[in-house]
Structure 1
Amino acid sequence: MTRNPIETLSSRARRWAIGLTEQKSVTGTDGEAAFGPWLAAELREETAFQNAEVWTIEVGPQDGRHCVAMLLRGTGRSTVLLTGHYDTVGTSDYGQLEPLATRPDALTKALHGSLVAANAPAAILAHHDFAGGEFLAGRGLLDMKTGLAAGLAVCAEFAESAKPAGNLLFIAVPDEENNSAGAREAAQMLPGLCKERDLDLLAVINLDAIADDGDGSKGRVIALGTVGKLLPAACVVGVPTHSGFPLNGLNAGAIAAAIAARIEWAPELTDMCGTEPGTPPSLLGIRDGKTGYDVTTPRTAHATFNVLSYRRAPSEVLDRFDSLCAEAASRLLQELRRRVSAQHETGLLEMVQSIPVHRYETLLARLEEPERMRLEAVSASIAAGDQPLPEKCRLITEQAWKLSRLAGPAIVTGFGSIPYLPTNLSAQPAAARLRAAAVEVADEAAARYGNVVTCADYFAGISDMSFFGEAAESSLDVVARNTPAWKDSVRWPLTRALANIPTINIGPWGRDYHTPLERLHVGYAFDVLPQLIRDVCARILRPDAT
């Protein structure tokens, strides 16, 4: 990367942001695998980091992706971790502009020109933003390489200071856009890292981006916690029949559809965000188990749901989910009976009084040792495939059902992906110190940086904060027992899995990430954000901090 002879905090942040963005790192590609070693080499070549310790940490055996770590020592043991992910979503959505997707200046100019005749609200706003010169486009520039760049600018200033208080640890991780394998690996290795290097890790600052379609007031935020995310899943087993004789069976697709209708926006699964309702649940995927066309009704169907939580534990979420599935099935049976009563025949409904709900773990408990061994072999084979995690969980659940020798209709519930647990700053001294530092800096922001900055209870998006922050690690047990692909595909231990360090988020803001209109507000990102991060770190690390 081209370096200026004399650099400021702002110019360093801009240089690193452009340089990181130009290096492609789409999740699951060779670019993501190459990015870690490339970044480590760049850090070693940076003059400001000549006395820093830089190393890489492989995510897993033969994984090919790396976390990139850098330690800058000042005085004492007190340490703040600056972290964020470097992987991005794909670039094919840019169409003809894809060659420019990771070249911010060229892409911004091209997008501005292409939006002259735009009539969609989002495109009109983007054209206005680019015309004003306050926004810069680029895949990954907002989400979230500019956050990493701001962290690196702060690290450089720290490294060039004379005997700064404390230490800064920087870790960039892969895979956040998929299963957060990088953050999970980093969180697990932190205790050993700190012990080996004699560090007292006081706080983590995640550097992820915030979206704001307005004036930026919702983007200029220090988030003191993060929302959690679960993916409850319902695998429905029906009684298939020829579609010419539908009363002789129970359609798994119809049962799954009834569950989907009951759970969509269900208040029972909408956690409170402070005194306000949080984001309601929503269906993320629904499909039957048929592999081709025929005139038989589906034997199985599978539905997954996005459920966000702020303080609610996974066990409570699954309890509520089970109840709603049972209620939906009961209502469907009642409605089907009403519809056929006029025909004076009920078919299978005469024998089906209710549709039982089983958890995946109770299904496993029914299996004898030979069936368990067969299931483990199938699970390992499925894990070796390249299907997404929810699909792997569906296939394993259906295999477990077959081995159980139970008869439908039935509903098997569980989870279809890794959990993102909610984090909140606790009442512990280190967390109180971090909260105080964040509030102080936010209160002084208008006078110091010319921007109003506020503290929010929660980071609105899903982020790696879930693995670094203070979360209920015991919650992982019920998720693991009911996630079919946990052992072979998730490969995440149930103890010492989370860092459990007080964690906040301070990142850039912009608009429309994960779309071709992804753009960054440059004034805040380069002029204000690095100062915020620097000043929060300084308050945490000062010797008289309490």
Structure 2
Amino acid sequence: MLQSRDAIIKLTDDLVEIESVVNTKGEIVVATHLYEHLKSFPYFQQNPDQLIISRTVNDEIERYNVLAFVKGTKQPSSKTVILMGHTDTVGIDDYNHLKDKACYPASLMEALKEEPLPELVKQQLESGDWHFGRGVLDMKSGVASHVFLLQYYSEHPEELAGNLLLLAECDEEDSSHGVLSSLKDLKKWREEHGFEYIALINSDFVAPRYDGDPNRYIYKGTVGKLLPSFYITGYETHAGSAFEGLDPNFIAAELTRQISYNPDLCDEAYGETPVPPVSLKQTDFKPTYTIQTALSAYVYYNFFIHTWSPKQVLGMLKEQAEIAFENALTLLRDRHRRFCEKSGQAWTPLPWKTRVLIYEDMKKELVAEHGDAFLSHMRQFKEQLLQDKSLDVRMFSARVVEEEVKWTKDRNPAIILFYSSLYSPRIELVGKDEREQNLITALEEAVEAVQPHYPHPIVTRNFFPYVCDMSCVALSDDEEGILAIEENNPSWGSKHYVDYRDIRDINVPCINIGPYGYDAHNRFERMEIAYSTEVVPSVTDEIIKRLLK
């Protein structure tokens, strides 16, 4: 095991003390700090062109990535291993009255001793074996581990037959502008230096999978994330004549009941099952109170995938939406009939029918029907909408659909299905080529070498279970799957664009070896010191040695 504990804790604290909340100027400060730290290494003073601080592209916010590489001198080799980690964090408001201490681990831990704490948190705090603070787990200790290894090899390049490259990226917690921008730098360096990217080791946090779970996990590949979104049109009516219209919120509620927490929508693969979809937003578009029902509603869901393609998911969710729509209408018809009986009114059948459209199909119909007039109008509409900086990409997409619906001749209630945000691609690492086989073998041997020095089981699994930037360095989807993303995102090419060709071009096998702890994104965020500062760099180092021997 490496003697790395004290150095990595210090590096972690140095980074944590910079409040680098995503989408704030703190992202600039932490990147600048890290750049200056690396710049102080004698190696980079002698090789300044091997260290850069690079601004993100196509980004409304100013922020930077830091990239650096060490060229091994053991023997000439183009083989290059990438160490990746993000320097941004989520916010600190959840620390409440301890907010001013959130980024100062020593002060925070002293203050927490005076707080009422859950029993497990209290035990771990008192043990001295855990380190608390915003970003210590997610994931500045992971970045510190990578920096520690980069520094070591900058001082001992003769031990490397190949190259070690550090990518410290921004904006992981929101839209992945950092890693997506870094692909340009990685491609440039590949062309300039002849790099062959053979593996990427990310160091995002890992956590127990269930209460009492003794395992520390290393992940091959990662879960994919989609944001399927549903714009629902109803038929407005006065609340005093409720059955004369169709409330889109009523349909939205049934849609959420059908989709949220539904295990039938879990993409089980290789014996692993991601959590089911869950609603992340449900609203209507009434700007103020009126006595009328809403004209439209909007709902979107987190959706994790292991092997399904974005195109497959659209087909599945169209079926789910049709079931939900029909269930809503069946319930509505029953309640209407019962109301008529109770009130003594004459019953007449309601006119509504199930109607679900996939966005791509709706848009093709509108183009065929209205041609350039529709396309020109929507270009102008999007240009104007871009001026509203309060709209995130999800609400921007909904507003685009809302405008396009106005061009439809059939104004009957409908559910329109689309994607409204970044697609984080799934990655399978199964040994399908030599690079994957070599990385898997190196990982297995590294765990075997380190496990005797650590009391808890180190276990490998196939899919990192949270969204992370590994999704942006390799691509398991075919062209048809990616086209489904492009054709079904209303903000594509205006508010949102990803050049998936860049990802496919880099396409490096990746794994995640990250700090272990609890409560990332929570005020009790903490890492286990021994695993995070000793096991993580040691396993990573063993892999580097095997891949660049």
Conserved? CA contact 1:222–1:442, under 8 Å: no
1:387 is the counterpart of 2:405: no
* TM-score calculated relative to the size of structure 1: 0.92
Conserved? CA contact 1:281–1:305, under 8 Å: yes
CA drift at 1:451: 4.9
Deviations 1:426-453 (A, max 9, x none): 4110011001111111123222455531
1:10 is the counterpart of 2:5: yes
Deviates more, 1:47-56 or 1:256-265: 47-56
CA drift at 1:188: 4.5
The equivalent of 2:533 in structure 1 is 526
CA drift at 1:470: 4.1
Write the distance in 2 (CA, Å) between the matches of 1:374 and 1:63: 28
Write the distance in 2 (CA, Å) between the matches of 1:311 and 1:235: 26
Runs of 5+ consecutive residues of structure 1 not aligned to the other structure: 1-6
Change in Cα spacing, 1:235 to 1:241, as seen in structure 2 (3 Å) is: same
1:370 is the counterpart of 2:361: no
Measured on the aligned residues, the alpha-carbon RMSD in Å equals 2.0
Which residue of the other structure, out of 326, 331, 338, is the alignment partner of 1:330? 326
Change in Cα spacing, 1:73 to 1:518, as seen in structure 2 (3 Å) is: same
* Equivalences for residues 9-408 of structure 1 within 5 A: 9-47=4-42, 49-52=44-47, 53-60=50-57, 63-75=61-73, 76-115=77-116, 118=117, 123-163=118-158, 164-212=160-208, 217-218=214-215, 220-342=216-338, 343=340, 345=346, 350-352=350-352, 354-365=353-364, 366-367=366-367, 368=370, 369-384=372-387, 385-408=389-412
In structure 2, the residue corresponding to 1:487 is in which secondary structure?
Answer: coil
Which residue of the other structure, out of 444, 450, 470, is the alignment partner of 1:445? 450
In structure 1, the residue corresponding to 2:231 is in which secondary structure?
Answer: strand
Runs of 4+ in 1 over 6 A off after TM superposition: none
Q: Which residue identity lines up with residue 69 of structure 1 in the other structure?
A: L
Runs of 5+ consecutive residues of structure 2 not aligned to the other structure: none
CA drift at 1:355: 2.5
Write the distance in 2 (CA, Å) between the matches of 1:55 and 1:489: 28
Conserved? CA contact 1:446–1:452, under 8 Å: yes
Deviations 1:298-339 (A, max 9, x none): 110011011111111111111000111011111221222222
Change in Cα spacing, 1:361 to 1:193, as seen in structure 2 (3 Å) is: same
Write the distance in 1 (CA, Å) between the matches of 2:213 and 2:254: 40
Deviations 1:471-505 (A, max 9, x none): 22522221121111121222212423443110000
Count of residue pairs the alignment pairs up: 527
CA drift at 1:383: 3.2
Write the distance in 1 (CA, Å) between the matches of 2:363 and 2:534: 56
Deviations 1:63-121 (A, max 9, x none): 41111100111032111000011110111221221111111111111112213xx4xxx
Write the distance in 1 (CA, Å) between the matches of 2:453 and 2:33: 36
Write the distance in 1 (CA, Å) between the matches of 2:149 and 2:257: 49
Deviates more, 1:399-408 or 1:193-202: 399-408
Write the distance in 1 (CA, Å) between the matches of 2:331 and 2:302: 27
Write the distance in 1 (CA, Å) between the matches of 2:283 and 2:458: 44
Deviations 1:119-178 (A, max 9, x none): xxxx22111110011111111111000000000111111111151221100011111110
Change in Cα spacing, 1:150 to 1:458, as seen in structure 2 (3 Å) is: same
Which residue of the other structure, out of 515, 531, 548, is the alignment partner of 1:541? 548
The equivalent of 1:477 in structure 2 is 483
* TM-score calculated relative to the size of structure 2: 0.92
Write the distance in 2 (CA, Å) between the matches of 1:360 and 1:295: 31
Q: Which residue identity lines up with residue 71 of structure 1 in the other structure?
A: F
Write the distance in 2 (CA, Å) between the matches of 1:395 and 1:186: 31
CA drift at 1:458: 1.3
Conserved? CA contact 2:85–2:167, under 8 Å: yes
Change in Cα spacing, 1:21 to 1:483, as seen in structure 2 (3 Å) is: same
